[in-house]
Amino acid sequence: MLTDAECKNATCPPDKKRARLACSGGLYLEISPAGSKRWFWKYRKDGKEGRMALGSYPDVGPKKAREEMTAAKLMKSGGRDPVMVRKIEKLKAITPAGDTFKATALEWYEQKLDSWSSHYAIREKRNLEKDLFPFFASRRIGDIEAIELLAVIRRVEERGALDVAHRVLTTAGQVWRYAVATARAKRDVTPDIRGALKPHRGKHFAAITEPVKLGGLIRAIRGYQGGPIVRAALQLAPILFQRPGELRGMAWAEINLDTALWTIPAMRMKRGKDGKENGDPHLVPLPTQAVEILRKLHPLTGHGVLVFHGERSHNRPISDGTLRAALLTMGFGPDVQSVHGLRATARTLLAEELNVEPLVIEAQLAHAVKDANGRAYNRTQYLKHRVTMMQQWADYLDKLAIGADVIQFKAA
């Protein structure tokens, strides 16, 4: 067993890389040619030899080194790797300060922000600030129990916002998992309460999928007596079946009437942040009917930026509420046909009535492709097919509007 004097006088011969003085139980002092002295404990784990640094002499003397070795041995006998435990403790020590729910959540939010679209970022921030921070902001996240979180989520349910309740729980789950990863919490408590929430069944956008009824809708739209801008938007909505926001935000710079093509910039599409910033634009072939509608509208709004500008400001498009209200005045309320539901109308009838290849339809809807090619799929590869499909669809709507090629059989 080494004494303090032996440690003090120990040297490394000049012809050696290091010298080792054994103490006891696998403990030894290692001396370098430069004179530095460090304590190590040699042990075996899973049949392999390892060693654990216990500090430098003289800061750690022989007695203190033996105490550190004894503590490490007790840890090992309890089934824990002392070296790994020390690494974890060091990682915990460098974790950014703040283990409250708010500090953890804001750190997680900043870590993820660059990968989110602005819409998603706003929604996540709202979930935190409106429904979670008021109750947990100053609490240590590791101390919050599942039953407490359930009580907070149920307050959201009591507002009748079942879909929001599930989204808030999802947000909380991401924060908790980040807390576990950064050693602020031992486990994610959110799975414990997921089954206790009221089920939320998302409602589909109302959509007419029967040819005869769709013909009635098209006739009603063509007979709409409102303003020319809203009338043109209504007429184009079923023909082009793009998302309402994409249609309403249509800009003249995106339209080429000579080539009959509408190019929607990636930034205006429903995509993640990377897709908006680096993705390809979405191309929408314009059938002759759509080109005619736009040519008639051009003298009215073509001097400005937007195709469908609002009445109060030419710098802002008509609202989604404007189109909904127009449908309602024609007798097509939100439970019968929504503007967004026109996408489902087209998807259904293109497949069932016109026998169009589903991948071509999905490409026109700007949906992510789920085939073997995955994200490598190029949306423009079906452009020729889509040109044909869009003209076929517009012609089909014309036939429905005049009642041609559609037979309504009476029930027996």
CATH number (domain holding residue 132): 1.10.150.130
Q: In terms of residue numbers, what domain contains 82?
A: 4-94
Cα–Cα distance, 355 to 364 (Å, whole number): 15
Provide the greatest CA pair distance for the chain.
111
Q: Tell me: pLDDT of 409 over 60.
A: no
Same domain? 238 vs 314: yes
| Average predicted confidence (pLDDT) for the chain | 86
Q: What is the DSSP string of 257-304?
A: TTTTEEEE-GGGSS--HHHHHHSPPEEEE--HHHHHHHHHHHHHHTTS
Global model pTM greater than 0.85? no
pLDDT tens string 130-171: 999 999 998 999 999 999 999 999 999 998 888 889 999 999
Q: Tell me: pLDDT of 364 over 70.
A: yes
Query: Given the structure tokens 């309740």, which residue do they identify?
Result: 165
Same domain? 331 vs 264: yes
Q: Which CATH number fits the domain that encloses residue 47?
A: 3.30.160.390
pLDDT tens string 376-408: 444 446 889 999 999 999 999 999 999 865 544
pLDDT of 149: 94
- 286 found inside a domain: yes
Same domain? 80 vs 120: no
Q: Tell me: pLDDT of 322 over 80.
A: yes
Q: End of a domain among 94, 110, 141? A: 94
Greater confidence, 205 or 337?
337
Same domain? 29 vs 163: no
- 203 found inside a domain: no
Greater confidence, 313 or 325?
325
The C-alpha angle 234, 237, 240, rounded to 5 degrees, equals 150
Same domain? 61 vs 116: no
Q: Measured between alpha carbons, how far is residue 233 from residues 241, 307, 312 in Å?
A: 11, 9, 17
Per-residue pLDDT band at 201 (split at 50, 70, 90) = low
Task: Return the minimum-mean-pLDDT range out of 28-32, 149-153, 196-200, 370-374.
Answer: 370-374
Q: Tell me: pLDDT of 275 over 80.
A: no
Same domain? 254 vs 398: yes
Same domain? 220 vs 264: yes
- 409 found inside a domain: no
Q: End of a domain among 137, 166, 194? A: 194
Same domain? 251 vs 397: yes
Same domain? 85 vs 139: no
Instruction: Provide the total of helices (H) and of strands (E) in the chain, helices listed first.
Output: 18, 7
pLDDT of 320: 82
Q: Which CATH number fits the domain that encloses residue 261?
A: 1.10.443.10
Cα–Cα distance, 227 to 321 (Å, whole number): 15
Task: Return the minimum-mean-pLDDT range out of 61-65, 271-275, 350-354.
Answer: 271-275
Same domain? 153 vs 121: yes
Q: Is residue 232 within 8 Å of residue 296, measured between CB atoms?
A: yes
List of residues 6+ apart from 193 with CB closer than 8 A: 146, 147, 149, 150, 153, 169
Same domain? 87 vs 115: no
Q: End of a domain among 52, 68, 94? A: 94
pLDDT of 408: 46
- 186 found inside a domain: yes
Q: What are the strands of the beta sheet with 255-256, ordered from one edge?
A: 255-256, 261-264, 282-285
What mean pLDDT comes out for the span 238-247? 93
- 312 found inside a domain: yes
H or E segment to which residue 391 belongs: helix 383-402
3-class state of residue 83 by DSSP: helix
Per-residue pLDDT band at 119 (split at 50, 70, 90) = confident
| Whether residue 58 has a cis bond before it, omega within 30° of 0 | yes
- 411 found inside a domain: no
Per-residue pLDDT band at 202 (split at 50, 70, 90) = low
Same domain? 78 vs 139: no
Per-residue pLDDT band at 92 (split at 50, 70, 90) = low
pLDDT of 97: 56
What mean pLDDT comes out for the span 331-340? 88
Per-residue pLDDT band at 222 (split at 50, 70, 90) = very high
Q: How many independent structural domains does the chain possess?
A: 3
Greater confidence, 93 or 282?
282
- 310 found inside a domain: yes
- 292 found inside a domain: yes
Query: 367, 363, 397: which is closest to 208 by C-alpha?
Result: 397
